[in-house]
């Protein structure tokens, strides 16, 4: 009996996973430049230089997603995505999940907060494991 978990590694699954994981960051990164005002409005007013941070976060999202999707320095790309997600998850969704006066909006923000936590976890896994199967294993 082996102490390894069941494994099925296939390069196509890795490519699909990279594309599915990074799609949201590509789309969001682009809209950070095409709809700046909407992203500025999402940020708490107490944060100084909100336009600057929206633009920087768009660059970080696009760079990190490109590195992961293209499998060129994917671990560094995943660190960039995690670096983006932690403050956004806390400052945008965490604050609104607690402070929004509308109960329905608090529930929606809780969902967004948990999504951010989940994506951060996935990015941290990529920082440790990379994204490519070395060789297919058939079970």
User: What pLDDT sits at residue 134?
Assistant: 56
Structural domain boundaries in the chain: 11-129
DSSP annotation string for 66-97: HHHHTTSSHHHHHHHHHHHHHHHIIIIIIHHH
- Note down pLDDT in tens along the chain; length 139 residues: 456 677 777 888 889 999 999 999 999 999 999 999 999 998 888 889 999 999 999 999 999 999 999 999 999 999 999 999 999 999 889 999 999 999 999 999 999 999 999 999 999 999 999 987 555 545 5
DSSP annotation string for 8-66: -B-HHHHHHHHHHHHHHHHHHHHHHHH-HHHHHHHS-TTSS-HHHHHHHHHHHHHHHHH
Q: Tokens 């999707």 — which residue?
A: 69
CA dihedral of 109, 100, 44, 88, whole degrees rounded to 10: -20
Contact 58, 33 (CB under 8 A): yes
User: What pLDDT sits at residue 138?
Assistant: 54
User: What pLDDT sits at residue 124?
Assistant: 97
User: What pLDDT sits at residue 10?
Assistant: 81
């Amino acid at each position: 009996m082996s102490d390894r978990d069941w494994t099925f590694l296939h390069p196509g699954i890795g490519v699909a996973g990279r594309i599915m994981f990074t799609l949201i960051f590509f789309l969001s990164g682009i809209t950070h430049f095409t709809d700046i005002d909407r992203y500025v409005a999402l940020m708490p007013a107490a944060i100084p230089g909100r336009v600057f941070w929206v633009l920087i976060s768009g660059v970080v999202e696009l760079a990190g997603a490109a590195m992961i999707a293209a499998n060129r320095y994917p671990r560094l790309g995943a660190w960039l995505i995690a670096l983006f997600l932690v403050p956004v998850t806390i400052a945008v969704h965490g604050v609104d999940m607690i402070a929004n006066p509308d109960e329905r909006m608090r529930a929606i923000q809780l969902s967004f907060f948990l999504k951010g936590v989940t994506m951060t976890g996935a990015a941290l896994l990529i920082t440790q494991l990379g994204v490519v199967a070395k060789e297919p294993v058939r079970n």
